[in-house]
Amino acid sequence: MTSASEHDADIQPGSLYVVATPIGNLGDLSPRARAVLAGVSRIAAEDTRTTAVLLRHCGVDTPMTALHDHNEAQVVDGLVARLQAGESLALVSDAGTPLISDPGFQLVRAARNAGCAVLAVPGPCAAIAALSIAGLPSDSFLFVGFLPPKPAARRQRIAELAHEPRTVLLYESSHRVVDSLADLAAVLGERPLMLGRELSKRFEQSVLLPATALTQWIAEDPNRQRGEFVLAISPAPAADSDQAREAQRLLRVLLAEMPASRAARAVAALTGLRKQVVYELALGLGGADANDADATEGA
């Protein structure tokens, strides 16, 4: 069994360690992370069954407590009480860095509010791994987690991101990736996207293509639709960002006088932006088409 002293983990009593774990390849677990997991009093894990696989691989038998989206509010007080009593805890998610589209925020905030030390044990993160291989600008970026599951909300969110001047990173699941790529293509057209699939795993793939071509690429082989995905969206040209700001200004005026679809058509003509993009922006500003059964068709 691995002991903390082997890697000088120097576990501090009453401290919460936020530990990054592999996103696929178990060899990516750092020696320090291994030592911390072996040396703390208890591990708060998103899914104890998933973490048990990692612990067995490491030869670690530290006891665990489940901490996930459905119980975090209920277990936080008890875990903070353990910290205040002098126990040391590690927080892990199923894969990658905790709190990055994973539970743990309430525990970290409660621990800090209670005056407990919170320490990072950095390591793998799917979003950062994707950014590093995307071939897109990386000096400034925006991470947005998952897109909304419902089509209308998803298209509206994409329209909001279409004019972002930074590289945008997002996650997507296997059962929604095809629909999300179709919506991205509808809104973004030929904007370059990088899709990373199964990063660090046996069947890892990554490809940088225009949004429309990427929808064709993933449809060509059902195997490309399996696994876990990270998407990176190329920044909007500066002119697009300026146009979007002008479009929003005009929409705020026109939406007080007309339905969203009519306002979108007018603003698209004035700014040169895609009609669908402007329509989704109009909806995001509270516009509606009460008398239009299919407003997007006219937009």
Q: What is the mean pLDDT of the chain?
A: 90
Q: What is the mean pLDDT of residues 20-25?
A: 96
- pLDDT at site 176: 96
Pick the closest to residue 51 from 96, 106, 6 (CA basis). Answer: 96
- pLDDT at site 41: 97
Confidence bin at 239 (pLDDT 50/70/90):
low
Q: What is the pLDDT of residues 267-277, one digit of tens each?
A: 988 888 888 88
Looking at 61-70, 133-142, 161-170, 282-291, which range is the least confident one? 282-291
